[in-house]
């Protein structure tokens, strides 16, 4: 008989060797194998005739043996579902541990366990998106490994669908219910686009604060379309050097927001398709041809102007109207010109476009209009950053220590 610690060691080593795809493949193979065995067993039982046996008692004994095989198949299924639960939580735990140790390499095991369990005053995870799914999975995992698959008091208190002391049933259903959210959490934790954008986001906060005096008119006069002096003298005048700084902030905002929408799109996909990685609308038709986004990785590689075609139904979808990828490209390629006298910037979307041209390949804006757009983009970035922090960066930031 395998002792508890040895069994726990087997589960631990098993889960360390697999990923979510491997877990799903394991479950698929097990389900097919069990279904085949159950069908064969049912066929054997249905085909029994009295002539096969010397007496009724022998038939009853054989039927009892078939019943024992059916019971064993149920136990194998339960064990497989239990292994999948333990493996899934191990994936989440591994990602959270990496995030913690990357920022707090000296954190002890007890402190780390307290952070993962949400039992610390250093962070307030119970209000965070994704916490409840990860925490319920953790408690189910603990019940499977340490309590002979019986519902613990903590699990029963935290999640009312569980009854204390009862044997946990339908673990496969709970796996399917919890996997999309916790898997998306793990995906975000390891997403290089979001990690790399964190530095840019912090720089934008600093740039906005450092140049606050130049944005002040736009903050106070946010609805420029209804200002009585539109078309007249502008209340804001900037020298060329400062214009370049503001335009670079615009460019950085658009680039960061494009990366931040990974979180929002993933949440939309979970709601619509039960998986963060599955798009209901996988193809859009652009003027140059069809573009596909079969998963979140393909979506991430697209230009923002194309990404928006896949974002319908997302949180903050209407805020995307404030973004111009064409202006961003014009700034990035230094294809713009500032008239200090009129305080207007002409953005050229192709080379050799005359400033006075009214062609679609150029656009002219006042600095007050541009600053207003920067403020709107900054507010959108801040909202998305908050969502990203609450959901994806759960334990990965320096907010549970005394660091600066």
pLDDT tens-place string over residues 267-312: 888 888 777 788 888 888 888 888 888 888 788 888 877 888 888 8
Q: With 80 as the cut, is the pLDDT of residue 377 above it?
A: yes
pLDDT of 109 reads: 83
> pLDDT category, 198, cuts 50, 70, 90?
confident
For the chain, what percent of residues have pLDDT higher than 70? 77
334: region left, alpha or beta (phi > 0 left; psi from -120 to 50 alpha): left
CA atoms within a 13 Å half-sphere pointing along the CA-CB vector of 89: 25
* Residue 234 backbone phi and psi in degrees, to 5: -85, 140
- For residue 265, what are the CA distances in angstroms to 150, 194, 204, 275? 37, 14, 23, 11
Q: What is the pLDDT of residues 96-141, one digit of tens each?
A: 777 667 666 777 888 777 777 777 665 555 555 567 788 889 999 9
Tell me what pLDDT residue 8 has.
Answer: 38
Match 């952070």 to its residue by tokens: 115
pTM: 0.56
Is a pLDDT exceeding 60 seen at residue 234? no
Domain ranges, ordered by start, for the chain: 4-47+55-189, 192-391
Dump pLDDT digits (tens) for 2-54.
343 433 343 333 333 335 678 888 889 999 999 999 999 999 989 989 888 88
What is the structure's pLDDT at 239?
61
């Amino acid at each position: 008989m395998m002792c508890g610690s040895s069994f726990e060691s087997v589960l631990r080593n098993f889960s360390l060797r697999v990923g979510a795809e491997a877990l799903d493949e394991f479950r698929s193979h097990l389900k097919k194998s069990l279904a085949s065995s159950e069908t064969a067993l049912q066929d054997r039982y249905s085909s029994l005739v009295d002539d096969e046996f010397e007496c009724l008692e022998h038939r009853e004994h054989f039927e009892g043996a078939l019943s024992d095989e059916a019971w064993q198949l149920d136990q194998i299924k339960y064990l497989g579902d239990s292994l999948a639960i333990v493996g899934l939580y191990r994936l989440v735990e591994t990602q959270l541990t990496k995030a913690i140790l990357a920022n707090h390499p000296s954190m002890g095991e007890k402190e780390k366990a307290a952070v993962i369990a949400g039992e610390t005053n250093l962070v307030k995870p119970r209000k965070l998106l994704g916490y409840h799914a990860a925490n319920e999975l953790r408690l189910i995992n603990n019940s499977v490994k340490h309590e002979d698959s019986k519902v613990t008091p903590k699990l029963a208190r935290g999640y009312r669908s569980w009854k204390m002391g009862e044997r946990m049933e339908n673990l496969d259903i709970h796996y399917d219910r919890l996997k999309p959210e916790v898997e998306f959490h793990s995906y975000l934790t390891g997403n290089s686009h979001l990690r790399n954008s964190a530095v840019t986001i912090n720089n934008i906060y600093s740039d906005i604060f450092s140049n606050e005096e130049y944005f002040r008119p736009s903050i106070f006069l946010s609805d420029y379309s209804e200002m009585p002096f539109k078309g007249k003298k502008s209340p804001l005048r900037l020298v060329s050097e400062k214009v370049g700084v503001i335009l670079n902030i615009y460019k950085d905002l658009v680039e960061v927001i494009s990366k931040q929408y990974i979180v929002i799109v993933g949440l939309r996909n979970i709601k619509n398709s039960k998986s963060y990685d599955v798009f209901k609308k996988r193809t859009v038709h652009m003027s140059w041809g069809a573009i596909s986004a079969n998963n979140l990785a393909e979506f991430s590689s697209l230009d923002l102007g194309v990404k928006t075609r896949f974002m319908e139904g997302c949180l903050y979808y209407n805020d995307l109207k404030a973004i111009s990828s064409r202006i961003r490209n014009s700034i990035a390629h230094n294809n713009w010109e500032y008239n200090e006298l009129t305080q207007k910037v002409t953005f050229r979307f192709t080379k050799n476009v005359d400033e006075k041209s009214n062609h679609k390949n150029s656009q002219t804006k006042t600095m007050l209009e541009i600053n207003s757009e920067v403020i709107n983009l900054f507010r959108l970035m801040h909202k998305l950053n908050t969502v990203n922090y609450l959901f994806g960066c759960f334990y990965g930031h320096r907010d549970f220590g005394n660091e600066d």
